[in-house]
Every structure is written in structure tokens, then in C-alpha cells.
Amino acid sequence: MNFWIFAVAILAIAAVAISWPLITGTVKERMTGIWVIIMMPLLGLMMYQQIGTPKAINLAAATPQQSTQEQQAHSSQSAQMDELVASLQKRMSENPDDPEGWLILGRSLKTMQRYAEAKTALSKANRLLPDNPAVMIDLAEISLYASGKAEISVETRQLIESALVIDPQQQKGLWFMGMASAQDGNESQAISFWQRLLDQLDPASPASQSVRQQIKMAQTRLGQPVEEIVTTGFDIPVTVTIADDLAAALPGNAILFVFIHPAGGVGMPLAVKRMAAQGFPKSLHFNDTDLLRPGISLQDFEQLDISARISMTGVANTATGDYQANLVSLDTKAVTAIALHLDQRVP
């Protein structure tokens, strides 16, 4: 019984998250939202009873009558999901400037494998939410599915690259760029992207194992052992602290960026780390796997500038009200631990 209570609660939370734009709208939209909140847990439990029970592996083969009943149940569930998506599509035709609605619709259509429609919805979300790396990667992914081809197109690749400039740690983006690089025959670059992704994953997770397998396959194609490519031996330790008065005023959605530029350099950094502005002091490490432009090394530069900034809006560009630390220069021939202290407000 406790399992079923927990399952209903989880499904209800997901339903509320999906239908929030509806229940905050007009009376008609609120009714649609309430219908979603009621139906999603019910549909989820129905699906679990059909395919999710652990005892299913021991069940005897279904009789023709059982198979027919299961097909009818599946058809009923599909019809209900179609009705739900149709309601959302109607709402979006009446509210075409709602980016969150397009995002929800696009992701829902993707789960239903209606890729062409999903691409249209996510394209509209991307237009209304420009420079949002998560939306950009969603659009790139659905563009790949909609194409029906295994190869990542030039247009899709450019979209992924743009997302990684904004958020260099975007996990799905790193995965796709590794695939695109391998597709081009650039195995070293593919390994670099996948290594950056691997650094963010739980070593015991299935995702981590998949990435490791891709790296090993790339290494095999190169004919070189993993250690010669992945391990650089060059490491820059960085500690980031924050003034007490600034820490007390941090909003929950603030993002910490730590940048490495060539000495005196401006524009696109060599490497960036992006993370929640919580849990200070923070200890980080930079090496060549963090580079935004694979094929070079941090050791190619005699001097590096290292800086840190907390964005209140979550974007990499500097804005009034952000917190920042004094820039620290590093001699790559004599690497020492870098200490960055966030104690200034951007005017």
C-alpha cells in the first residue's frame, strides 16, 4: 500500500508541474489543467499494472483474450493522451506567445514519437526563449530524430555548439558533440567532449558506463591507450569563497561561473565551469578536458587569467548586481593553487 501512495504522489507532482501554465490561465484552461492532474496519475498506475510489475517476468504467456484486453487498454490510454495533447495544442493556438507551453507540448510530442510536430513546437519555444541552452539542445535532439538520419547535420551541430558556449557543462550537448566529432572522424575531439561529460556523472551510473564505452571505442579506433589521451597530468586547483554579507543575499537560482582566459584576453574563454552558487567554499580543478576548443592545451599559454562571478540571472554575460572576484593570473610553468574571493558587486 505504501508503494501505491508513493507512486500516486510522484505522478501527481509531475502532473502539477506539466499543467501549471494551464491552471494559472482562464477558467477553461484551469479545467483542462485539473483534468491533467487527475488523469496522469491514473494513466501512470494503469500502465504500471500492465507493464511495470516485477512479477511480470514470471507470468505465463497471455491468452488471446488477455492480449485483446491489453490492446484495448493500450488503445484507450493512447486515445486519452492524444486528447490531452490536442487540448494543449488548442490552447497554444490561442496563446502562441507562451514559451513554456510550447516547450511542454514539444516534449510531450517527442515522447509520443511525433517528431515533426515536436520540432515545430520546440522551434517556437526556442524563438520565444532565445539563448536558453536546455531549449536549444531539446530542439537539436528533436531535429536529429525528425531527420530520420544517424548523422548530425551542420545546422543541428551549430545549434549544439551555441548552447555549449552559453553552458559549457550542458550534459546532453556534450554527448551530442562527442557523437558529431566521431562522425567527422575526429576521435580525439570526441574523447575530449565525452571526458568533460564523464567528469559530471556518477561513476556507478549507467550513463557513466555508456560514456566510458564510447571513449574506449574511440581509443580503439585511434589505436592509443586511454591514459595517453584522457589523462593530461596538468591540473589547476581553484578554491572559490564568498564574503559573508554577499552569501546571505544570494537568491536560490544564482549561478557561479569560473572562467579561464588567455592573459589579457577578452571574448570567449578557454574554459568555463558553471554550477549552483551554493556550498562555499568550493574546490575545483581545471585541466585540458575542460577546454571549449579541443585540440589545444592550457599549457600552450604562458599566462592565464582566472576569474569568478555569480550571475543572478543564470547567464554568462556580466550584469549589474552580479558578484565577482578579483582576477588572478597564473604562470603555467609554475602552477600554484588559485584562490578566488567573491566580495564585489558589479555596478
Domain-embedded: residue 65:
no
Q: Are residues 268 and 204 in the same domain?
A: no
Q: How many CA atoms lie within 13 A of 8 on its CB side?
A: 7
Residues forming beta bridges with residue 285, ordered by sequence position = 237
Question: Which of 19, 45, 169 has the alpha carbon at shortest distance from 105?
Answer: 19
Q: Which amino acid is at 255?
A: I
Give the mean model confidence (pLDDT) for residues 327-337.
93
Q: Are residues 42 and 109 in the same domain?
A: yes
For residues 67 and 147, what is the distance between their CA atoms, to the nearest angstrom? 34
**DSSP-assigned letter for residue 25:** S
How many domains in the chain? 3
**What grid cell was written down for 36?**
491533467
- Asked if the structure places residue 186 within a domain, the reply is yes
Report the DSSP beta bridge partners of residue 309: 257, 324
β strands within 48-108, DSSP E: none
211-237 pLDDT, tens digit per residue, is 888 888 888 888 766 544 344 457 899
Asked if residue 224 and residue 240 are part of one domain, the reply reads no
Q: Once rounded to an integer, what is the mean pLDDT over residues 301-328? A: 91
What's the CA gap between 33 and 41, in Å, rounded?
13
Are 225 and 187 in the same domain?
yes
Looking at 206, 230, 254, which one is the last position of a domain? 230
Higher-confidence residue of 303 and 50: namely 303
Nearest to 311 by CA among 250, 273, 255, 267: 255
Instruction: Give the tens place of pLDDT for each residue, 151-179.
Output: 888 899 999 999 998 888 899 999 999 98
Residue 144 clears pLDDT 90, i.e. is over it: no
Give the C-alpha separation, 99 to 125, whole Å: 5
pLDDT one-digit tens code per residue, 236-288: 999 999 999 999 889 888 999 999 999 987 778 888 888 889 889 988 888 87
Phi, psi of 47 (to 5 degrees): -65, -40
Q: What is the CATH number of the domain that holds 133?
A: 1.25.40.10
Q: Where are the alpha helices (DSSP H) in the chain?
A: 2-23, 27-51, 64-94, 99-111, 115-128, 133-147, 154-166, 171-183, 187-198, 206-222, 226-230, 244-247
Backbone angles phi, psi at 163, to 5 degrees: -65, -40
Same domain, 247 and 220: no
Q: Which structural domain range is residue 217 located in? A: 168-230
Find, among 222, 137, 147, 202, the residue nearest to 172 by Cα.
Answer: 137
Interval 48-57: pLDDT, tens:
443 344 333 3
Packing angle of the helix pair 133-147, 154-166 (nearest 10 deg): 160
- The 8 Å CB, 24+ separation contacts for 9-15 are 11/40, 11/41, 11/44, 11/45, 12/37, 12/40, 12/41, 14/40, 15/39, 15/40, 15/41
* 157 belongs to a structural domain: no
